[in-house]
Amino acid sequence: MTENDADRQMAELKSENERLRALLHQSGIETADASLALARRDYRHERQLAGEQTRVAQAEENARLAEDRADLAEAKHTNLTAIDAALLTNTEFGRQILENSTDCIKVLDLEGRLEFMSAGGMSVMEIDDFAPFVMCPWVDFWHGEQRGMAQKALATAKTGEVGRFVGPTPTAKGNLRWWEVVVSPIRGRDGGVEKLLSISRDVTARHSADEHQRMLFEEMHHRIKNTIATTLGIVEQSLRGAATKKEALRAIRERLAAIGKAHDLLIENKWISADIREVVAGAVSAYIGDGARVAMTGERILLTSRAALTLAMLLNELSTNAVKYGAWSTEAGQVVVSWVIEGNQFHFRWSEQYGPPVRPPAQQSFGTRLIETALPGALEGVATLRYEATGLVLEFRAPLASLTVLTGIAQNEV
């Protein structure tokens, strides 16, 4: 090989080596670029995957929160439905209480003016339309002493305490009722008194029962006093009119026994019906015996048991007064008892004669109230007492229908 061939070959090897180096360099760059690109793609994929996972996790969390919110909303809806139903039930229950309560329940402002009245209250107060009464002063429903009591109860409630009183006042239609009243404060959120609550309970029946009981006790006391006075009067009359002690004792026993029977009759009320003449004769004989100190005139009338009992009680009162103060307190005194029927009216008259002078009492006694009011009123009648120069006169009128079973027409004098 010549030197030139060797140089040429060396030059070719060198050139090939450089070419290979260039190729190798170029290949490395491309490989690096490819790796970088692949790394970049992997990074982006990982980021996309992480983002997707985050989005999925967030979506799942949102779904869970939404489900929780839905459950909470459903629970709230259920609770609100239950509360609403309870409120409706309570409202209906309260409405039923207000409508059916026999108490008159009212709400007043602090000036005592009416703002509300329950339906049941309107019924017991006999108010058909509450509109004319809105903002009317509540105390205007009360009169006399009760008005002052109502004002005091309002003042007490405004201070935060409870005011109470009992008194009569008429309903809107004028029917008198007795009421037990409580006025109490209605407080606001701050604890201050904002309005007033007035509750009035109709206690008319209880008041009537109390009055009846009081009258019974008063009548018992009156009867005891009258019995003692009558007994003394009978003893004095019997002693004056008897020739001997034995005769006087017999008269006293007979008359006291007659009074006892008369009281038994009044208490037991055994009559079913009775002729008016028998009622009058039986009532007065207990005080004067069978003597001629009483004259009776009137037609035959068959009385009901109630009328017979009432008339006997009336005669008992009149006879007691006659023995104590009137015609039968003297030996010469007499009583004329008469009755007539005028149309559909019964007219009864008790007239005392030849007794001591009489004059009206300084004040009305219980016995006078019985004679003039209580007993006649039991037969829907009216009685008047007159203190005339000749003696006491009672006139009593009543509807015939309230006394009779049947009537006769013959006039009878005893």
What's residue 411's pLDDT? Answer: 37
Q: pLDDT-based confidence at 39, cuts 50/70/90?
A: low
What tens digit of pLDDT does each residue of 43-58 get?
677 777 777 777 877 8
In whole angstroms, give the CA distance from residue 386 to residue 167: 35
Residue 155 confidence (pLDDT) above 90: yes
Residue 157 confidence (pLDDT) above 80: yes
Q: What is the DSSP letter of 289?
A: T
The owner of tokens 């090939």 is 16
What would the mean pLDDT of 153-170 be, rounded to a whole number?
92
Beta-sheet pairing, 391-399 with 382-388? antiparallel
Least confident of 68-82, 112-126, 173-187: 68-82
Where are the chain's structural domains?
A: 1-99, 104-202, 208-413
Share of the chain above pLDDT 90, in %: 19
Residue 389 confidence (pLDDT) above 90: no
What's residue 270's pLDDT? Answer: 57
Cβ(398)–Cβ(346) below 8 Å: yes
The owner of tokens 């018992």 is 220
In whole angstroms, give the CA distance from residue 258 to residue 251: 10
Residue 179 confidence (pLDDT) above 60: yes
Q: Which residues of 301-324 are buried (b: 16+ CB within 10 A; e: fewer)?
A: bbbbeebbbbbbbbbbbbbbbbbb
What would the mean pLDDT of 364-378 be, rounded to a whole number?
72
**Residue 15 or residue 387, greater confidence:** 387
**Residue 366 or residue 387, greater confidence:** 387
Average pLDDT score over the chain: 78
What would the mean pLDDT of 202-219 be, rounded to a whole number?
79
Residue 3 confidence (pLDDT) above 80: no
Least confident of 132-141, 287-296, 341-350: 287-296
- The β-bridge partners of 80 are none
What's residue 233's pLDDT? Answer: 63
Q: Which amino acid is at 153?
A: A
**Residue 307 or residue 179, greater confidence:** 179
Tell me the CATH class for 208-413: alpha beta
Q: State whether CATH 3.40.50.2300 applies to domain 104-202.
A: no
Q: Could you give the C-alpha distances from 36 to 29, 31, 46, 322, 324, in angstroms and in order?
A: 10, 8, 15, 146, 145
**Residue 367 or residue 305, greater confidence:** 305
What pTM does this model have?
0.44
What would the mean pLDDT of 234-242 be, rounded to a whole number?
65
